[in-house]
Amino acid sequence: MAVGIFDSGLGGLTVLDAARTRLLDVPFVYYADSAHAPYGVRDSEDIYKLTKKSVEYLWDNGCDLVILACNTASAAALRRMQEAGVPEGKRVLGVFVPLIEALTERQWGDNSPPREVAVTEVAVFATPATVASRAFQRELAFRAIGVDVEAQACGGVVDAIEDGDMILAEALVRSHVDALKRKMPSPQAAILGCTHYPLMETHFQAALGADVKVYSQANLVAESLADYIDRRPDFIGTGKTHRYFTSGDPARVSDRATQFMRREISFEQG
């Protein structure tokens, strides 16, 4: 038994690394649906079906708690999965909650009316599917008022990162930031709404300017997970090793993951 972390590809490894650093005694199982990546260009029904299948795979393999370390899956599938009913003793959580908590400086369980927050102009960089879902705007509206959100669909960035073409990824980041600034010239904060994007955080920051606060998800999600497990220690699990599975070609995904994280990672067929 372990904590499951799911992503359509390799981006969730940034979350896994932060979680492993924060929770040294917790075993993790990572599942990458590489055969169907990227999710960001798929329609919501397709994303839901693929996400549900992947989460059920992790549940069936001893992961009672699964983290959707994929913003696209969190945006397009999480609410629907929870509304449909999660099996007894199982949990599935997304990555939006820690971001909203950080931005609004209030806990998710705080159900008081929406209120004004310090940041009033927020840029969101995400995949086309995440942007189309308007999930971030919807969740933010429950907790904050007076916040102008401008979202930029960052087509091509995930593909470039997964292919290891960081020169192209950097060029695309600059292009997408320029496009965002034409719509919102002076954002106060920027959300990197894809778990691949922390690898490009310095490039986002450089293109946005030093005065823009950039929120990246890995450490926020790790802290939130640590708090959740502290309150629900029954989800810690009894395993001792971390394992990596993929629906794609394990050898190819292992090579990409090793390049992606700059350390050796070996995937098994899942």
The DSSP string of 234-250 is: GGS-S--S-EEEESS-H
Note whether 124 and 193 are within 8 A (CB). Answer: yes
* Burial of 110: CB neighbours in 10 Å, binned 0-12, 13-18, 19+: exposed
Partners of 245 in the β-ladder: 31, 268
| Residue type at position 255 | D
| Residue type at position 253 | V
How far apart are alpha carbons 150 and 120 in whole angstroms? 11
Strands 243-246, 213-215: pairing kind: unpaired
Phi, psi at residue 58, to the nearest 5°?
-70, -40
How far apart are alpha carbons 148 and 184 in whole angstroms? 9
| Residue type at position 114 | P
CA Rg value for the chain = 18
Positions annotated as catalytic residues are 70, 194
